[in-house]
Amino acid sequence: MDSIDLINPATGGVLRDVPLNGVVETDAAIERAQRAFESWRKIAPGDRARLLRRFAAVVDEHVEELARLEVRNAGHTISNARWEAGNVRDVLDYYAAAPERLAGRQIPVAGGIDLTFHEPLGVVGIIVPWNFPMPIAGWGFAPALAAGNTVVLKPAELTPLTALRLGELALEAGLPEGVFTVLPGRGDVVGQRFVTHPGVRKVCFTGSTRVGKSIMAGCADQVKRVTLELGGKNANIVFADADLERAAASAPGGVFDNAGQDCCARSRLLVQDTVYDRFLALLEPAVKAFRVEDPQLDTAEMGPLISAAHREKVASYTAEGEVAFTGAAPGSDGWWFPPTVLLAHSARDRHWREEVFGPVISVLPFHEEDEAVQLANDTEYGLSGSIWTRDLGRALRVSRGVDTGNLSVNSHSSVRYWTPFGGMKQSGFGRELGPDAVLGFTDVKNVFISTES
């Protein structure tokens, strides 16, 4: 079995090595999950709910441990990592209510009674990215388990440590063997086997649009369910009537959080031309004040990029763009990159069109509301975005006009576990989180009972 050395992105030092599973180990894990499914689906809804609540409680007992692990493995700031571990707990608690509320319907028909049931699918394969290893895992496995499915989860090669620990905590909480399995490995080995193995009935993938298209094509061969959350190139639209001080102060956090390694990052900043110069003057001190430092510090607002190779990719965009100003970053070992603001000269600029996935904002002025909507929609992506205005009518018009799955007005919020999350266009399809996500892990079965003599 091969292995991979895990690197601390803040120091460049080796943390430990992790074995990478192959096809044989993946098939064995899927087969164990298939066997476990037959008993897991039959557990009484109240008992399954209690096990999920117990899992949430055990995660809560280990929030600080999980957070510290994520800081070392992924370079997340400690404040972010604590939120991420807490989000796993909260999502488990939220979906622990689902087993006892997964109700079908009685539909009026002639000559009998018609009933519907939500039946679990079977084994669900979840493929998790490196940028948010803990919460994205929880968004998949919590509703899948609540619906009565079993789960095999493949963490990203670079950031498997918190997923492995969650797998241990699931067993500690009392989930039966085979119900929730964490399987580190390469995407083109373990992830691909989720796609091709007939025992996996659904694949949830978060990652690049390119890989998502390949997974979708593979799943089509078996008419296999798939949920895709893919790339984003999100607009932050600032109108002249907005609270400019607040919009400028919050803009860095909307894109530099997690060092910009976020599909929801508002990396295209559209500013109405009449306040463009003033807004840039307000934005510069906010960018320069953004604290990029050791992610173990409570004061850190941004940590390093995930790897040296990714840092080179991000740098390729800033090298060819016009830099307006930058923030500061440590000059020590590790994959550090300063927060950077680029001026876009047209909507054809590469840094404006492509997902940089780093701490880089591209700024472009617009004149009228219709132009702002057109520029926001001039992208293959449609995941998230923000609108800043004091005009409620404009907020509603622009929200309906922008083709994206999640929008915030006068904020940069994208994710709440009790509301739906997902993309349009090439940002994917299907919805995670919210009250209906659990239904995506079920089949609707219709049963007619004749009452005629």
The dihedral of CA 45, 46, 47, 52: what is its sign? positive
For the purposes of burial, counting CB atoms within 10 Å of the CB of 374, is it exposed (0-12), middle (13-18) or buried (19 or more)?
middle
Q: What is the DSSP letter of 433?
A: S
> Is the separation of the CB atoms in 255 and 359 below 8 Å?
yes
DSSP calls for 316-329:
HHHHHSEEEEE---
Q: Which residue's entry shows tokens 């018009």?
A: 397
CA distance 46 to 366: 55
Q: Which residue's entry shows tokens 């993946």?
A: 26
CA distance 337 to 243: 29
CA distance 14 to 118: 46
User: Which residue is catalytic, options 25, 84, 229, 355?
Assistant: 229
In this structure, the number of other CB atoms found within 10 A of the CB of residue 24 comes to 10
What Cα–Cα distance (Å) separates residue 366 from each residue in 318, 333, 371? 22, 40, 6
Cite the beta strand spans of 183-286 per DSSP E.
200-206, 225-229, 235-238, 268-272
Q: Provide the residue count of the chain.
A: 453
> Is the separation of the CB atoms in 303 and 292 below 8 Å?
yes
Bridge-based pairing state of the strands 225-229 and 200-206: parallel
Q: What is the DSSP letter of 240?
A: T
For the purposes of burial, counting CB atoms within 10 Å of the CB of 249, is it exposed (0-12), middle (13-18) or buried (19 or more)?
middle
Going by C-alpha positions, the residue among 398, 411, 387, 369 that lies closest to residue 246 is 411
Q: What is the DSSP letter of 185?
A: B
Going by C-alpha positions, the residue among 261, 221, 208, 245 that lies closest to residue 381 is 208
CA distance 310 to 409: 31
* The one-letter amino acid at 67: A
204 is an active site residue: no
229 is an active site residue: yes
- 244 phi/psi in degrees, rounded to 5: -65, -40
User: Which residue is catalytic, options 25, 204, 219, 263?
Assistant: 263
Q: Which two tokens stand for residue 101?
A: 């509320």
Which sequence positions are flagged as catalytic? 229, 263
